[in-house]
Amino acid sequence: IRNPFDNAISRFHHELKERVKNPTKYQSWIDRYPRNSAGFRKWCNDENTMYGAYEREQFNWTKYGYSSDITKYFEGVSCHAEMVRYALWHALAVRTAERLDVPVMYLYYEDYANDLEGETTKLLSYLNLTRSVDEEGNQVELPEFHQSDYSDYFTLEERAATTELIRRVLRNEKGIELLDRYFTEWNFQKLINQTQDIV
């Protein structure tokens, strides 16, 4: 399981990487969306603008079991469509495992950065596998695990609004608790303090 915010940024990086392969065709896209927080925010804003009217005015959310006011929870969510996709993907993964009645082990992406050895050992044990060894019988060293810090890509308010949106999308789904570690609650005192600082 990956942090929804990091996941959205990763999807942006993937879009960029694919377009960089053909700069002649996509140079204006590449120039518009540099690989930084400003480029990401512009990409999200453009995506929200491009599809927002359709999502709010024409798409029949109630047909799929959502309340008619679900789109009000898009407000304040950077890349809301990415967040809805993320939530639905996780809901479908949990449902599929349950329907197939298969054993599941949940792993968190960032736990590999915190304890690569321990997480790898847990995974190998779950899969009933052993770690590879070299010619001398020593365990092969694990490759370095790198996790980028994207904490400045989303504000606290955007994180809280995204939390509310994901909770609304997954309101009747099993497995929502798997995402709790990524959720940000509204901190009204902090918002009041920030507002007073501006005024």
pLDDT tens-digit series, residues 33-69: 999 999 999 999 999 998 888 888 888 888 888 888 8
Q: Which residue has the higher pLDDT, 11 or 198?
A: 11
Dihedral over alpha carbons 55, 44, 81, 194 (to 10 degrees)? -100
pLDDT tens-digit series, residues 122-181: 999 999 999 998 899 898 999 999 899 999 999 999 999 999 999 999 988 888 999 999
Residue 163 neighbours by CB distance under 10 Å: 20
pLDDT for 54 equals 85
CB 107 within 8 A of CB 123: yes
pLDDT for 197 equals 66
